[in-house]
């Protein structure tokens, strides 16, 4: 398995996005575009972050006045 990106997130965790995950994102969420830089920025320096009831972390980065990028 090849890795599309590997970043150290705002909370200190190392996050790996595998190629198969990136293909899923690109297919299901084409608005993200072709570059992983936006996802990396959201993980490294989110505008907001929340932990859900199952322990998953939601990192939010404001795109404009009415849109957020959410990385779970």
* Residue 4 or residue 43, greater confidence: 43
Map residue 67 onto helix, strand or coil: strand
pLDDT the model gives residue 11: 94
Residue 29 is predicted with a pLDDT of: 87
Residue 63, pLDDT > 70, answer yes
Who contacts 34 (Cβ-Cβ below 8 Å, separation ≥6)? 26
List for the chain the helix, strand, coil content (%; round to 5): 30, 40, 30
- For the chain, the domains span 3-71
């Amino acid at each position: 398995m090849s890795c599309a990106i590997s970043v150290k997130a705002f909370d200190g965790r190392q996050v790996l996005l595998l190629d198969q995950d990136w293909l899923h994102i690109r297919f299901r969420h084409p608005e993200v575009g072709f570059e992983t830089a936006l996802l990396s920025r959201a993980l490294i320096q989110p505008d907001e972050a929340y932990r859900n009831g199952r322990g998953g972390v939601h990192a939010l980065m404001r795109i404009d006045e009415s849109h957020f990028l959410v990385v779970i």
